[in-house]
């Protein structure tokens, strides 16, 4: 069975999507429509901007979404998923690719999400850190022991967990986790504490927009970040999408559940091949392929 997976923030690179724009008229039309919806030329930044311009959350998120969704569309009959999932932002790409949400509505929600998250980051300076080489339980216990806001945010694969919180809290956690034997406790170059309680203002802002957007049943189950389980009911999908901003991304568990449900091939659609690497760390038995 084929599982199609969609990457999140961090996978972007300058030049992403340009080959699609230059060679496929349908892709060009979708990119041009996106420029109109967003009110600025995101294609200029994607195809020829600087890394700094592309790294702004309000640009990065729509850029990755556009590359992933337009790429999935360009696959035609090759895009025949038995199940889909996306990492954080990638969940929106997965939902649009699987027909639960229109391209236009998906892009508007992603843009709103990016702006709301950027605003939350500016209101309360915060950060994230990747913890390599410790088990999840040890990392969770250290996070709980710190008085400042620090939570487990991205369960990426066994032995790799990203934590999220206040700058002071993350610094304390990194020091303790290093003492406990982490191979690396690396602060990430991100705008703020994604998937933590510090994103509550963004969650509230996005909630009304998600509730108002017309969702329908996808063509296959969508495994969602909040609990790693498959969903096809539009109302449940919406509720999980709203909860996602302040809840952890359970990627390890998502991949495990997809494999348990029969997935033997994972196809990553979008920039880069980060998810292929994470899937292989969960199970060496499955095949992976990156379409980018």
Q: What's the CA gap between 29 and 187, in Å, rounded?
A: 39
Domain boundaries 125-187, CATH class: alpha beta
The fold of the 2-122+197-291 domain, in CATH, is Malonyl-Coenzyme A Acyl Carrier Protein; domain 2 (3.40.366)
CB under 8 Å to 260, separation ≥6 — which residues?
Answer: none
**Residues 41-60: pLDDT tens digits?**
999 999 999 998 998 888 99
Note the pLDDT tens digit of each residue in 118-157: 888 888 889 999 999 999 999 999 999 999 999 999 999 9
User: Per-residue pLDDT tens for 79-123?
Assistant: 999 999 999 999 999 999 999 999 999 999 999 999 999 888 888
The residue ranges of DSSP E strands in the chain, in sequence order, are 2-6, 83-86, 126-132, 150-157, 160-166, 184-187, 222-223, 230-231, 265-269, 287-291
Give the residue numbers marked as catalytic: 88, 195
Question: What pLDDT does residue 25 have?
Answer: 96
Q: Do 245 and 238 touch, CB atoms closer than 8 A? A: no
Average per-residue pLDDT for the chain:
95
Which residues belong to CATH 3.40.366.10 in the chain?
2-122+197-291
Q: Do 234 and 100 form a contact (C-beta atoms < 8 A)?
A: yes
pLDDT in tens, 167-214: 999 999 999 999 999 999 999 877 789 999 999 999 999 999 999 999
The whole-number pLDDT of residue 11 equals 86
Residues of the chain with CATH 3.30.70.250: 125-187
Please answer whether residues 79 and 44 qualify as being in contact, where contact means their C-beta atoms are separated by less than 8 angstroms: no
> Residue 163: beta bridge partners?
129, 152
Res 121: pLDDT: 85
């Amino acid at each position: 069975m084929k599982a199609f997976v969609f990457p999140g923030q961090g996978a972007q690179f300058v030049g992403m999507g340009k080959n699609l724009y230059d060679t496929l008229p349908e892709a060009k039309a979708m990119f041009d429509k996106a420029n109109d919806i967003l009110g600025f030329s995101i294609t200029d930044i994607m195809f020829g901007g600087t890394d700094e311009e592309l790294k702004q959350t309000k640009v990065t998120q729509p850029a990755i979404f556009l590359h992933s969704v337009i790429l999935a569309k360009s696959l035609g009959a090759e895009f025949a998923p038995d199940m889909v999932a996306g990492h954080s932002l990638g969940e929106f790409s997965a939902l649009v690719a699987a027909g639960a949400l229109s391209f236009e509505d998906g892009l508007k929600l992603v843009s709103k999400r990016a702006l709301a998250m950027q605003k939350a980051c500016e209101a309360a300076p915060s950060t994230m850190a990747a913890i390599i080489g410790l088990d999840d339980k040890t990392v969770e216990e250290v996070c709980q022991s710190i008085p400042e806001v620090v939570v487990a945010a991205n369960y990426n694969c066994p032995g790799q967990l990203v934590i999220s919180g206040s700058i002071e809290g993350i610094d304390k956690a990194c020091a303790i986790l290093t003492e406990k034997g982490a191979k690396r406790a690396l602060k990430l170059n991100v705008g703020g504490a994604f998937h933590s309680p510090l994103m509550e203002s963004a969650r509230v802002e996005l909630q009304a927009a998600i509730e108002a957007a017309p969702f329908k049943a996808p063509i296959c189950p969508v495994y969602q970040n909040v609990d790693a389980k498959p969903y096809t009911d539009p109302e449940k999908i919406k509720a999980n999408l709203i909860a996602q901003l302040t809840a952890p991304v359970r990627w390890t568990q998502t991949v495990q559940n997809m494999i348990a449900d029969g997935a033997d091939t994972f196809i990553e659609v979008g920039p880069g091949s980060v998810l292929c690497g994470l899937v292989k760390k969960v199970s060496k038995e499955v095949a992976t392929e990156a379409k980018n």
